[in-house]
Amino acid sequence: MPVLHNRVSNEELKELLMQEKGPRTTISFYTYFPIQNPKEFRDFLYLHLYALKVFGRIYVAKEGINAQISVPSIDLEAFKSFLYSIDHLKGLRLNIAVDDDGKSFWVLKIKVREKIVADGIDDPDFSMENKGKYVNAKQMNLLLDQKDTIVIDMRNHYEYEVGHFDNAIEVPSDTFREQLPMAVDMMKGNEDKNIIMYCTGGIRCEKASAFMLHKGFKNVFHLEGGIINYARQAKEFKIEPKFIGKNFVFDNRLGERITEHIIAKCHQCAKPCDEHTNCLNDGCHLLFIQCKECADKFDGCCSKECKDTIHLPQERQKELRQGLENGQKIFNKSKERLRPRLDEMNGL
């Protein structure tokens, strides 16, 4: 029986990636469809994708599949042939990265999850079969030009901070499961208006559109393929993008530039900047925005304390890390600034 998981260290894998001579293509895709045996499907995928030297992160659940990967460009057609040979995945839309250096992933991880996107929905009557209408880039721009359209960003604060659509409303939470009921509450009184929902690649806003319809909203749309597909179509159709700034992505790049606008600020000095980084202190790894000057000043760390820590002997650093819970840490600011925008929209 072949090994169905990685056994090489991250450091070695990163080094091997940097030594690769051929280009890679970064791709994301998802679809909701019933999977009877997610574990069996996961192992089947791993065997074939490992053979094609695919790297990335894939989640499999009874409700479908969600993937962010990179493929050797020379094997792109072979990858598509394999993927499209699977029932329910034939002809699936693949979001090709628009700002890609091919260094997005260096290992293949395929995990079985309860859901491909954690939503907190426990209502047995909820169904993904009734979801909002897809809109492409042209349709999105047309709807955005209409006065009665409300556009809702279903991403986290740190994603919204570096780039978003004109006049998009942020749902002030950094977990999707909290955002769903919040979006419903925020939109009360607007049941008959056009509501467009969007996210990075389409998976969150597709489920959000179904949830809004389930809660009684009438005219719900969602951006097909998310911002990634919108940016590609904007180039293809030669239309001016209404998304401004950078699209945060969940791989080593941490962002794809859509327009040259820089709408965020360095979290340390407040200069215009939209470069996300992780604090270099292994006991911290805070995700935050840092300009080059502050990166030099703090040695890639989020604070003087972390800067001092990374210059301590390794053994001392390990001692300081003991007992720390080092989950996902994200720089976040109060979202009270949203209140005036919501009050204006609701005529208060």
Tell which wins on pLDDT, 255 or 303.
303
Q: What is the DSSP string of 308-319?
A: HHHTS-HHHHHH
Under the banding of pLDDT at 50, 70 and 90, the label for residue 348 is very low
Q: Which of 305, 259, 258, 295 is nearest to 275 (CA)?
A: 295
Q: Which of 28, 69, 86, 5 is nearest to 204 (CA)?
A: 28
Tell which wins on pLDDT, 263 or 96.
263
Write down the pLDDT at residue 2. 53
185 CB neighbour count, 10 Å cutoff? 9
- Helices and strands of the chain, counted as H and E runs: 12, 15
Under the banding of pLDDT at 50, 70 and 90, the label for residue 106 is confident
Q: Which of 280, 304, 305, 277 is nearest to 289 (CA)?
A: 277
Residue among 199, 266, 291, 302 flagged as catalytic: 199
Three state DSSP letters for 87-142: CCCCCCCCEECCCCCCCCCCCEEEEECCCCCCCCCCCCCCCCCCCCEEECHHHHHH
For residue range 259-308, list pLDDT tens digits in order: 999 999 999 999 999 999 999 999 888 999 999 999 999 999 999 999 99
Tell which wins on pLDDT, 299 or 321.
299
> C-alpha angle with apex 224: 165 to 65, nearest 5 degrees?
120
CB 274 within 8 A of CB 160: no
Q: Is 306 marked active-site?
A: no
Report whether pLDDT(100) > 90.
no
What CA–CA distance (Å, rounded) separates 284 from 307?
11
Under the banding of pLDDT at 50, 70 and 90, the label for residue 19 is low
Query: Region 134-155: what's the mean pLDDT?
Result: 93
345 CB neighbour count, 10 Å cutoff? 16
Q: Which of 40, 72, 41 is nearest to 56 (CA)?
A: 72
Under the banding of pLDDT at 50, 70 and 90, the label for residue 95 is confident
Tell which wins on pLDDT, 2 or 50.
50
Strands annotated E in 33-102: 55-61, 64-72, 95-96
Under the banding of pLDDT at 50, 70 and 90, the label for residue 330 is low
Q: CA gyration radius for the chain?
A: 21
3-state secondary structure of 222: strand
Report whether pLDDT(326) > 60.
no
Write down the pLDDT at residue 322. 82
Reading the block at residue 106, the tokens are: 């260096």
For residue range 177-213, list pLDDT tens digits in order: 999 999 999 999 998 899 999 999 889 999 999 999 9
Under the banding of pLDDT at 50, 70 and 90, the label for residue 342 is very low
Q: Which domains does the chain have, with CATH numbers?
A: 10-112 (3.30.70.100), 133-239 (3.40.250.10), 264-338 (no CATH)
Estimate to the nearest angstrom the gap between the alpha carbon of 149 and the chain centroid.
Answer: 24
What CA–CA distance (Å, rounded) separates 120 from 41?
24
* Backbone dihedral angles phi then psi of residue 300, each to the nearest 5 degrees: 75, 15
Write down the pLDDT at residue 250. 73
Average pLDDT, whole number, for the chain? 86
